[in-house]
Structure 1
Amino acid sequence: MDTKSHAPTSGAKTMSAAKSFTRRTLLKASAASAVALAAGPFLMRRSWAQSGELKIFSWAGYISDEMLADFESKTGIRAIYTPYGDQGEALNQLRATGGAGFDLVQPTVDRVPEFVAEQVLQPLDESKVNWDGCIQSAITGSVDRGGVIDGKRYLAPSDWGTEAIAYDMNQAPLEYGTASYGSLWNPDYAGKVTLRGHSGLVGIGLWMEADGKLPHPMLDSFKSEEVMRANYDAILETAIANKPSVATMWANENEAQAAFRTNGCIIGQTWDGTAASLRKEGLPIRYIAPKEGALAWLEGFALTAGAENVEQAYEWINWYYTPEVGAMYTAHSGYNTTSKGAEQFLSEEARQFFADAYPGDALDKLWWWPIQESWFVAARNEYQDRYLSA
């Protein structure tokens, strides 16, 4: 398929493409076209004439000084990076300014509909994006997950990752196939567990569903508030019963790392980047997909409604869609880039982390976050608050 032909498809073809979006399809598509990459002429065609600056609002720990320097050296554009720890925080700030103050933001695809509903994003001009530099499965796979709304694309996929089980290999050894979200509640680990409120509840829900203890399928929680509350009432009861095992709750990357580094935790439900960073420090922290499936998410660059540096924003996206930059991003953040051909520039350490985290059929069992509509986020936060205050 022509990588520039990325308008929403329909029927079974689209659903099949979306459901099959995994790291394996990414690597396959990437390897097939790495040699033929032709992003150069497209990249920065207008940048030197544009120059100026770019204001990027993105997750903490995602963009390095090396990346900012590389972008400026290649485009003449000075990028200003402002980090946030949670995209609810990002949405609230953009809502307060009507989408002004930043040019690009980096939401997860499932939350894009909420950002659009709050009128803080504008559609992308797809003719200005070098889609040849992005892996096709990411472009297609983002269509039905929230990246395209009413026929308009709002997200240029940038990276994907998971939330699964981080563990101290010496004190809480786990193996693929038996490792579970329920492993966190092993009495041997009492008082040494960390997790995030709202996603920790999802992990408990998947564990309960696998054991036949959830009233309805977990995915149905995202379709009906009545079903969601029936499931979450059961989940909350189990979560509160096991809460004494939790040493600390995390809400952002720094807190998740600190749980292991300084707060005595030996196991937890964290992002893959958390474990990757701790492992690079030499700590005995490993990461494994549980048998219920790792929670998987896709992120991307979105143009804010009040963007003042629009052309510079497209220059950033096209600069990012080069293999060297994609690899630079993965090396720094620990997350998987969608830039085509990047794997040829990744370190052996990064490749080993991936192999350890997703052995066997782990990639086929990824649990992709469904679209989270406003009603779900509000109810989800209500249950999270009840859990945290219990």
Structure 2
Amino acid sequence: MRNTASRRSAIFAALAIVSTTALLTACGTASGPGGDDGGLPTELGDFEGSVSILAWPGYVEDGSNDPAVDWVSGFEDETGCMVDAQAYGTSDEAVNLVRSGGYDVVAASGDATLRLIAAGDVAAVNTDLIPSYDGVFDFLKEQEWNSVDGQSYGVPHGYGANLLLYNTEVVNPAPTSWDVVFDGASAYSGKITAYDSPIYIADAAVYLMAHQPELGIENPYALDEEQFQAAVDLLKAQREHVGEYWSDYLKEIQAFQTGDSVAGTTWQVIQNVLEGEGATTAVVLPEEGATGWSDTWMITSDAENPNCAYAWLDWIASPEVNAQATAYFGEAPSSEAACDFRDDCEAYHAGDEEYASQIWYWTTPIADCVDGRTDVECVDYAAWTEAWSEIKG
């Protein structure tokens, strides 16, 4: 699971629009998808017999961890594409592994996707060759973290919000704002927790959007120097009240069970576990909104098995399989049809566009401001990483 995802980012180049012709190197070959003059493929060729997949733990289960959890065997039986899967622990690790070569498919979060696209590490995809794509929620398609100029670079998988978790017996009244972990954190000093990642700077930016509108923040991943410094200052002030930064979800569960933490950012799956064990906790999507994630299945630009790669993207987005995979991981599925195979979609607000509209999905900060501004340069993720080290001290 996302239990070790610290998401420290390496230095990356500013986003450059890479042509789809250059990206899909397998296109037009005898074994690869057929295309038009080397552009996007228009039809698939024969399956190559194998596919190499890089993904978060829990995304590619074949029954070896739990005999009851297996959505790989059916794919292998149906396509003849034998799956070779490797798990990674952080987005940085994923980016580095993709660049080392040898992978056909990668499941990437929004703090990695633009880096992969910018460097030409992943290929634009023809979604017409992925029937399951039609059923994916529209609000997950062609977003700034999975497309460029309207061209899709993959298939959405699951999504979720970074929620506010609190101890109902300690935090009173029940919070409706992130204020409890920022400006009001002193009331619970030493027992505030925060996600351990440079991308958490965006959480501070979301709070500032509502509480310091004069800063003019329109997108928490598009911060100019003044806006960025304001977010950093807020997190430095928060630091003295943070008892622990977490990246391992099991450790956050334990901290709330013992009372070492009483308020902080979390995922719905963590609250589900705590609730199941009788903990006095609750979660809320605060009035300011929240950051979150929407992961994308992408095909590498040097995929040796592009036909099997396309088959996997269609398979993992199909309703029953997507339901299995996202339920196991603890996130909302990518389609309404997937909810026919789950009984907890309501808890994850699956398909609720109003709820989803309050989520700022992880997007790699780059110098070319993703909010559309061209008169300023935004702070890129390399600087976010450096600042995060300063914040934590």
TM-score (norm. length: structure 2)? 0.72
Please tell me whether the aligned partners of residues 133 and 314 of structure 2 are also in contact (alpha carbons under 8 angstroms): no
Correspondence 1:81-230 to 2 at 5 A: 81-95=85-99, 97=100, 100-109=101-110, 111-131=112-132, 133-138=134-139, 141-149=140-148, 152-172=151-171, 175=174, 178-184=175-181, 185-196=184-195, 197-212=197-212, 216-219=215-218, 222-223=221-222, 228-230=224-226
1:325 is aligned, of 297, 301, 321, to: 321
2:360 is aligned, of 352, 358, 367, to: 367
Aligned-residue sequence identity (percent) comes to 22
Once residues 89 and 388 of structure 2 are traced to their aligned partners in structure 1, the CA distance between those partners, rounded to angstroms, is 17
1:308 aligns to 2:304 (yes or no): yes
Tell me by how many angstroms 1:232 deviates.
2.5
Once residues 283 and 60 of structure 2 are traced to their aligned partners in structure 1, the CA distance between those partners, rounded to angstroms, is 22
Paired residue secondary structure (1:238): helix
Tell me by how many angstroms 1:254 deviates.
4.9
Paired residue secondary structure (2:138): helix
Which digits, 9 at most, give the CA deviation of each residue in 1:309-354, with x for residues without a partner? 322222222222322112212321111111341112212xx24533
Aligned to 2:56: 59
Task: Report the residue type matching 2:54 in the other structure.
Answer: F
Aligned to 1:41: none
Once residues 331 and 228 of structure 1 are traced to their aligned partners in structure 2, the CA distance between those partners, rounded to angstroms, is 38
1:231 aligns to 2:227 (yes or no): yes
Q: Which 10-residue stretch deviates more, 105-114 or 300-309? A: 105-114
Paired residue secondary structure (2:225): helix
Please tell me whether the aligned partners of residues 165 and 271 of structure 2 are also in contact (alpha carbons under 8 angstroms): yes
Change in CA separation of 1:282 and 1:309 when aligned onto 2, cut-off 3 Å:
farther
Once residues 372 and 266 of structure 1 are traced to their aligned partners in structure 2, the CA distance between those partners, rounded to angstroms, is 30
Change in CA separation of 1:167 and 1:81 when aligned onto 2, cut-off 3 Å:
farther
Paired residue secondary structure (1:332): helix
Change in CA separation of 1:343 and 1:245 when aligned onto 2, cut-off 3 Å:
same
Once residues 148 and 98 of structure 2 are traced to their aligned partners in structure 1, the CA distance between those partners, rounded to angstroms, is 19
Aligned to 2:260: 264
Once residues 298 and 324 of structure 1 are traced to their aligned partners in structure 2, the CA distance between those partners, rounded to angstroms, is 19
Paired residue secondary structure (2:323): helix
Tell me by how many angstroms 1:230 deviates.
1.1
Paired residue secondary structure (1:119): coil
Please tell me whether the aligned partners of residues 255 and 261 of structure 2 are also in contact (alpha carbons under 8 angstroms): yes
Please tell me whether the aligned partners of residues 293 and 362 of structure 1 are also in contact (alpha carbons under 8 angstroms): no
Please tell me the root mean square deviation across aligned C-alpha atoms, in Å. 3.4
Paired residues, number: 330
Tell me by how many angstroms 1:155 deviates.
1.3
Change in CA separation of 1:333 and 1:261 when aligned onto 2, cut-off 3 Å:
farther
Please tell me whether the aligned partners of residues 232 and 383 of structure 1 are also in contact (alpha carbons under 8 angstroms): no
Change in CA separation of 1:354 and 1:338 when aligned onto 2, cut-off 3 Å:
closer
Please tell me whether the aligned partners of residues 51 and 75 of structure 1 are also in contact (alpha carbons under 8 angstroms): no
Q: Gapped runs of 5+ residues in structure 2?
A: 1-43, 64-68, 368-378
Please tell me whether the aligned partners of residues 180 and 292 of structure 1 are also in contact (alpha carbons under 8 angstroms): yes
Which digits, 9 at most, give the CA deviation of each residue in 1:32-59, with x for residues without a partner? xxxxxxxxxxxxxx99x74733322122
Tell me by how many angstroms 1:157 deviates.
1.3
Change in CA separation of 1:120 and 1:51 when aligned onto 2, cut-off 3 Å:
closer
Aligned to 2:386: 382
Correspondence 1:239-258 to 2 at 5 A: 239-251=235-247, 253-254=249-250, 256-257=252-253
Please tell me whether the aligned partners of residues 200 and 269 of structure 1 are also in contact (alpha carbons under 8 angstroms): no
Once residues 287 and 358 of structure 1 are traced to their aligned partners in structure 2, the CA distance between those partners, rounded to angstroms, is 19
Please tell me whether the aligned partners of residues 164 and 269 of structure 1 are also in contact (alpha carbons under 8 angstroms): yes
1:335 is aligned, of 331, 346, 362, to: 331
Q: Gapped runs of 5+ residues in structure 1?
A: 1-45
Tell me by how many angstroms 1:188 deviates.
3.9
Please tell me whether the aligned partners of residues 154 and 298 of structure 2 are also in contact (alpha carbons under 8 angstroms): yes
Flag the structure with higher helix content: 1
Change in CA separation of 1:373 and 1:142 when aligned onto 2, cut-off 3 Å:
farther
Once residues 157 and 92 of structure 1 are traced to their aligned partners in structure 2, the CA distance between those partners, rounded to angstroms, is 21
Tell me by how many angstroms 1:173 deviates.
5.8
